[in-house]
Structures are given as structure tokens and as C-alpha cells.
């Protein structure tokens, strides 16, 4: 069982590059522990900035440092980063097309027991609506490393959402296919499928497990790991819809403005097929550990497989 959360993978990746690149700066809002960034702060104190509980200042300072040639990675709980500092993300970062990477930690319902004030079920919609802002939700630690390595090579804004807890590996260190802003296909996309499951972030693992359940029932499913919610890999979505009778989207997000909405728009415009969106409800989510909450709303392998069976034929 994997014990390395994606946030830790980010820290380890940044540390490996910060030894040579002194322009890599980590900024936190009293969140270095939650972000797993304490090792970075300890080893690179001259490349670390603690702002305190001031998320708006966190983003503005990051933008200012980027204008001075630094490469800021800005860490804060996703529930605060995507709301309290939304104007700063829109104006200071995206409007100026500034090289700031916003890392929303403990995204979705990771803070489970703390309730709706600490849930971030709107961040995909909010950040996707900002011009120049890219939105990424890596699915496991290995894909997270590939994503951060790619982001270190460009100078454009991005919002990355990761969860709090470790997720089971989908890939491996030796087998993690990755192309920037291109979906990773798990299964066959060229042949005929019964269902195409498009998922992002922590929902990719249950989507893969659901495909295995469906296979046992004689139902062929392909899974699209859409870590790049914006820019969406539109070509892959259309191709998947063309190959399948049914499209299902799965996300740890509200039902509006997220992955499901983006996929439905492309399918409707280019290859009309039935699209079922699986997401958190348009309501205050129940309080509990994230796994229990997912189970309650059917955002697990069994729930996804059941939804596919109900809507096929």
C-alpha cells in the first residue's frame, strides 16, 4: 500500500531541482506541515517564504517574485487558495500571465471531518474560468512528479490540486506515460468500447477499478485519466465518445463547472452521446473521512460500475 501522498511527491521533486536552480521558491500560508513542505523549508531556508495566514498576500507576493525572475510555488489549502485569494489569482497571476504555480493542497473533501468550510468542491470551476490559468489534478504520486517536472520547464500560470491522503498507485516509476496537456489512456481507445470513463485526480483509481468490474460482466470500458482539466484534451474526449455507447465522468467536485461540464460540452458539439456526470452533490457534503464520503455518494468503483450498467442499452 502506497504511503506517499501527492503533496509529498511535490516536495521531493522541488527539492531535487532546487539544489541546482536557486530561483525555485516555496511559499506557504502557515501550511508547510499540511503541504509536506517542511523538509524543503529546512534544507532551503533562503528559498522559502512563510507568509502566515494571509492567502491573498501569499499569491500577490508570489506574483511579485515571479516578475523579478523567480519561480514561485505557492502552497495553501485549496479551500482557501481558490476563494480568499481568487482576485489575486485572477489579476496578479493570470492577467499578467505570470509564472506562478498555485498548489491547492488537501483539495476536494480531503479535510472530511472539518466540514464544508474546509471543502473545495468549486475550485475546478473557479480556476478554469480565469483566462491564462491552467488546471491540473494528478492521479497518483508518479504522475504528480511528471507534472511538476513539466511545470518547472514553462513560465505560465497553473493551479494544481492534490489531496491530503496517499492514493493507491496507478502507475509506477518505470511505467508512467505522460505528455503535457494530453490525457493518459488506460485501456484501448482505438477499438470499440461500451463505456468511456473520464476521471481526474483521486477519482481515477476507482475508475480503473470500475473498468475491471465491468470487464468481469462482459462490458468493455476505457478510462481517460484527464489530469489536465484545462486545457482539456478535446481530441481524446471526442475519440473516446466516438468509440463508446456511453460516456461517464467522475470528479471530486460540485456537479457544475468542472470536468463533467467540460466533457459534456465537447461531446454534445462534436459527437452526441449520452453523458452521465458523477460528482459531489449540489449541497453541503456530509461530514466524515473522505473514503466514507465517497462511498456515501457512490464515488467508488462499485458505484461507477453500477452507474454504467444502469445506463447501457
Task: Examine the domain organization and report whether 280 and 240 are in the same domain.
Answer: yes
Residues of the chain with pLDDT > 70, as a percent, come to 100
Calculate the average pLDDT of the chain: 96
- Confidence tier at 1 by pLDDT (50, 70, 90): confident
Task: Examine the domain organization and report whether 33 and 134 are in the same domain.
Answer: yes
Report pTM.
0.96
Domain with residue 216: its CATH number is 3.40.50.920
Task: Examine the domain organization and report whether 148 and 287 are in the same domain.
Answer: no
pLDDT tens by residue, 12-36: 999 999 999 999 999 999 999 999 9
- Confidence tier at 117 by pLDDT (50, 70, 90): confident
pLDDT at site 115: 81
C-alpha distances (whole Å) from 95 to each of 154, 230, 237 are: 17, 16, 28
pLDDT tens by residue, 238-292: 999 999 999 999 999 999 999 999 999 999 999 999 999 999 999 989 999 999 9
Closest by CA to 223, choosing from 242, 239, 199, 190, is 199
- Residue 74 phi/psi, 5-degree rounding, is -110, 110
Does pLDDT of 113 surpass 90?
no
Task: Examine the domain organization and report whether 144 and 10 are in the same domain.
Answer: yes
Task: Examine the domain organization and report whether 19 and 126 are in the same domain.
Answer: yes
Task: Examine the domain organization and report whether 127 and 230 are in the same domain.
Answer: no
Question: What does the block give as the cell for 217?
Answer: 460482466
Separation CA 253–CA 307 (nearest Å): 18
Domain span holding position 81: 6-161
Separation CA 91–CA 125 (nearest Å): 17
Task: Please report the beta strands in 85-165, taking only residues with DSSP state E, as ranges in sequence order.
Answer: 101-105, 134-136, 158-161
Task: Examine the domain organization and report whether 120 and 193 are in the same domain.
Answer: no
Tell me how many degrees the CA angle 189-192-196 measures, rounded to the nearest 5: 60
Number of domains in the chain: 2
- Residue 13 phi/psi, 5-degree rounding, is -70, -45
Task: Examine the domain organization and report whether 11 and 150 are in the same domain.
Answer: yes
Task: Please report the beta strands in the chain, taking only residues with DSSP state E, as ranges in sequence order.
Answer: 24-28, 48-50, 71-77, 101-105, 134-136, 158-161, 184-186, 195-199, 221-225, 228-230, 246-250, 274-278
Task: Examine the domain organization and report whether 241 and 128 are in the same domain.
Answer: no
Does pLDDT of 111 surpass 90?
no
Last residue of a domain, one of 92, 126, 161: 161
Does pLDDT of 313 surpass 80?
no
- Confidence tier at 191 by pLDDT (50, 70, 90): confident
Residue 171 domain-assigned (yes or no): no
Task: Examine the domain organization and report whether 234 and 284 are in the same domain.
Answer: yes
Residues of the chain with pLDDT > 90, as a percent, come to 93
What's the whole-number mean pLDDT along residues 106-124? 90
Last residue of a domain, one of 129, 161, 193: 161
Closest by CA to 184, choosing from 154, 213, 147, is 147
C-alpha distances (whole Å) from 300 to each of 210, 213, 245 are: 8, 12, 21
pLDDT tens by residue, 205-235: 999 999 999 999 999 999 999 999 999 999 9
Residue 166 domain-assigned (yes or no): no
Does pLDDT of 303 surpass 80?
yes
Task: Examine the domain organization and report whether 91 and 22 are in the same domain.
Answer: yes
- Confidence tier at 116 by pLDDT (50, 70, 90): confident
Helices (H) and strands (E) in the chain, counts: 12, 12
Task: Examine the domain organization and report whether 124 and 38 are in the same domain.
Answer: yes
Neighbours of 289 (CB within 10 A): 13
Place of cell 504528480: 144
Last residue of a domain, one of 127, 161, 195: 161
Amino acid at each position: 500500500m502506497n504511503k506517499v501522498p501527492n503533496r509529498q511527491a511535490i516536495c521531493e521533486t522541488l527539492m531535487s531541482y532546487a539544489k541546482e536552480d536557486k530561483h525555485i521558491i516555496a511559499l506557504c500560508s502557515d501550511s508547510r506541515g499540511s503541504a509536506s513542505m517542511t523538509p524543503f523549508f529546512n534544507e532551503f531556508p533562503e528559498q522559502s517564504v512563510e507568509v502566515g495566514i494571509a492567502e491573498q498576500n501569499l499569491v500577490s507576493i508570489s506574483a511579485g517574485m515571479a516578475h523579478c525572475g523567480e519561480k514561485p510555488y505557492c502552497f495553501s489549502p485549496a479551500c482557501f487558495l481558490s476563494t480568499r485569494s481568487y482576485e489575486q489569482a485572477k489579476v496578479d497571476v493570470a492577467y499578467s500571465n505570470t509564472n506562478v504555480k498555485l498548489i491547492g493542497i488537501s483539495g476536494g473533501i480531503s479535510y472530511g471531518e472539518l466540514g464544508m468550510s474546509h471543502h473545495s468542491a468549486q475550485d475546478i470551476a473557479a480556476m478554469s474560468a480565469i483566462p491564462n490559468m491552467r488546471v491540473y489534478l494528478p492521479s497518483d504520486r508518479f504522475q504528480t512528479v511528471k507534472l511538476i517536472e513539466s511545470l518547472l520547464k514553462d513560465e505560465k500560470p497553473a493551479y494544481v490540486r492534490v489531496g491530503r491522503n496517499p492514493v493507491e498507485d496507478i502507475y509506477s516509476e518505470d511505467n508512467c506515460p505522460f505528455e503535457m496537456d494530453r490525457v493518459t489512456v488506460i485501456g484501448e481507445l482505438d477499438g470499440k468500447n461500451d463505456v468511456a470513463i473520464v476521471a481526474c485526480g483521486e477519482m481515477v483509481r476507482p475508475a480503473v477499478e470500475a473498468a475491471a468490474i465491468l470487464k468481469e460482466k462482459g462490458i468493455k470500458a476505457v478510462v481517460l485519466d484527464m489530469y489536465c482539466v484545462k486545457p482539456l484534451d478535446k481530441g481524446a474526449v471526442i475519440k473516446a465518445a466516438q468509440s463508446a455507447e456511453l460516456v461517464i465522468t467522475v470528479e471530486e467536485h460540485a456537479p457544475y463547472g468542472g470536468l463533467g461540464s467540460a466533457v459534456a460540452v465537447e461531446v454534445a458539439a462534436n459527437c452526441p452521446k449520452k453523458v452521465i456526470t458523477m460528482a459531489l452533490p449540489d449541497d453541503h457534503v456530509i461530514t466524515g473521512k473522505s473514503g466514507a464520503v465517497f462511498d456515501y455518494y457512490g464515488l467508488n468503483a462499485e458505484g461507477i460500475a453500477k452507474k454504467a450498467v444502469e445506463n447501457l442499452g
